[in-house]
Amino acid sequence: MLAMNKSKSVKSLGTALAMSAVLLAGSLSTSLTPAFAEAVRVTAPQAPSFADAVEAVSPAVVSVRVEVGAEPASQRQSSRSGQDFLPEGHPLRRFFENDRGNRRGFGDRRRGRNFGASQGSGFFVSDDGYIVTNNHVVENGSKFTIVQHDGTELDAKLIGTDPKTDLAVLKVDAKEKFTYVAFSEEKSRVGEWVVAVGNPFGLGGTVTAGIVSASGRDIGSGPYDDFLQIDAAVNKGNSGGPAFNLKGEVIGVNTAIFSPSGGNVGIAFAISASSASAVVNDLIKNGAVSRGWLGVQIQPVTRDIADSLGLDKAAGAIVAEAQDKSPAALSGVETGDIIVKVDEQSIKDPKQLAKVIAGYGPDANVKLTVIRDGKEQGLDVKLGTLPGAKKVALKTDRDNDAEFKLAELGVELTNTPDGVVIAGIERGSPASDKNLRRGDVVLSVNGTDIKSVDDVSDAVAEAISSERKAVLLQVESQNRNRFVALPLDLG
């Protein structure tokens, strides 16, 4: 009897809701536009179903498990869940901290070398096993495992990463053909439905739905920000997972959440498909993203700057300095020039200039339109290659990861005007055992002169690929030079 009463109650409630919707549509039609009234009449009684889209795309979505070295897993999970990449001082940063305000950093590893695991999400973009996820999911990883929709676990290798957009590509080698999804070629509309599929809190295979709340968001995470804001529930572990439209196309890669508590509050950010697809193609093809490089330090043209120069509007990017021997300097760009166009595309601010230049490949020829002394003039520039773009050349998941190996050895390096300096030494590490100290300057690695931290990583990677058992550092300490051999085979 109780069950029957419940059934009647639900049925009555459904009838009442349907009648209310019809009455609402009828009342609206007398006071609002016919088009709006018709939209309410049609949509109010009908709730959308995501089941068909979810059933089609779910096999392409995977959980990504990452074995992490040199950092406690609990610390990594709390501090790198997709939001800690905001710069220090950013107004949104306080909302992305956990209750204790944990920070990643070398100084947090005082308890010795720790190995743990972190989890995220990802999705197949080809039937031969290429997987897209976030860079911060795989960062510092030594081993990668993906868990498919049916629970099957497969080893994966890292193909390449792009920290500037927080994207990464993994690859699974298997004979089977995988179900995969494609990026949408259409621009997402604010208000359209979106479905997020991923691995929140390690639960796996979770589906949430909402709408696109905004587009083109710049949250200050990097020079190429182009985020969709969505209100589908996204939590820790969703990072790297896809956001779908109802056609089953990927419109974004879930990356960050805005949350005082660390959980979902209805504001999440996804890298737009238009930004992600080009980066992913480069990573699959080359293992790295090659971007055009102009070589200028720029700042916004404020209203005050525009007024002082007699300009009608505050737009463009003013050149604070053209870097020595950069493409800009060699092409005649001068301090004080205001860049207002690249080819035929107008530039409204420095952020747009960075995106436009990055959209060109290295060695591309572009025409800059600049305002100098109140007059427009054109400059022909041959772009260079953005420094720092390099391929992740890994022979195995762990033993050939140079950056991981440096952290494992207990060394933190930084670039300074005096050269590459040791900024931190982990207590009890091989570097500590060899009496390396903070402030020591690294002059060479395995006989190769060192000018940057990237040079160190490249030299260590070369030593690992050559299966050397140690890497030889020449360091300057207290005005004297010495050689220090650090073991690469740590078991």
Residue 90 is among the residues annotated as catalytic for this protein: no
Burial environment of residue 423 by CB neighbours within 10 A (0 to 12, 13 to 18, 19 or more): middle
Catalytic residue among 81, 136, 188, 221: 136
| Distance in angstroms between the alpha carbons of the first and the last residue of the chain | 68
Instruction: Based on the residue annotation, tell me whether 136 is a catalytic residue of this protein.
Output: yes
116 beta partners: 68
Q: Is there a contact between 83 and 96 (Cβ–Cβ < 8 Å)?
A: yes
Kindly report the backbone phi and psi dihedral angles of residue 422, in degrees, each rounded to the nearest multiple of 5, phi listed first.
-75, 115
Catalytic residue from among 81, 239, 326, 457: 239
Question: Where on the phi/psi map is residue 237: left (φ > 0), alpha (ψ -120 to 50), or beta?
Answer: left
176 within 8 A of 168, measured Cβ to Cβ: no
Q: How far apart are CA 121 and CA 138, in angstroms?
A: 10
**Integer Cα distance of 34 and 31 in angstroms:** 9
Which one of the listed residues 162, 166, 397, 401 is annotated catalytic? 166
Q: 């006989």: which residue's tokens? A: 447
Active site residue 239: yes
Contact between residue 240 and residue 64 where contact means Cβ atoms under 8 Å apart? yes
Angle between helices 402-409 and 453-465 (to 10 degrees): 100
Length of the chain: 491
Q: What tokens were used for 447?
A: 């006989």
- Give ∠ CA 181-271-268 in degrees, rounded to 5: 105
Distance CA(166)–CA(120), nearest Å, equals: 13
Q: Are 130 and 284 in contact (CB under 8 A)?
A: yes
Query: Backbone phi, then psi, for 417, in 5-degree steps?
Result: -60, -25
Q: Which residues are catalytic, by number?
A: 136, 166, 239
